[in-house]
Amino acid sequence: MTTRTTERTVSFQQPFALKGADRVYPAGAYRVLTDDETIEGLSFMAYRRVSTMMFVPAAHGNGSIEMIVVDPLELEAARLRENAGSV
């Protein structure tokens, strides 16, 4: 099985929260990685999402970062909430 990783940047103009997270993250640009694996046995190339991770400031706040697993639908919902004007 082959795995591919794609990277993108998601930006927030306001502090935001993600469902299931125990804190609010500051406004800023966040690196998001998505891992997909090939679906074997098909007559065409297809991928299935395996995981989505986001790099966020560490909880202890000393300038380091941590990588958390996020639900891509919840990440999109947070972006939509920001665009709608509610955090």
Residue with tokens 């502090």: 15
- From CA 54, how far away is CA 42, in angstroms rounded? 31
Find the domain containing 20 and state its range: 3-84
* Predicted TM-score (pTM) of this structure: 0.84
Residue type present at position 40: E
Tell me the pLDDT tens digit for each residue of 22-81. 899 999 999 999 999 999 998 998 999 999 999 999 988 788 999 999 999 999 999 999
- % of the chain surpassing 90 pLDDT: 74
Query: How many domains would you assign to the chain?
Result: 1
**Is pLDDT above 80 for 85?**
no
Instruction: Decide: 30 and 16 in contact? Cβ < 8 Å.
Output: no
Within 13 Å and on the Cβ side, how many CA atoms surround 35?
9
C-alpha torsion sign, points 81, 84, 86, 87: positive
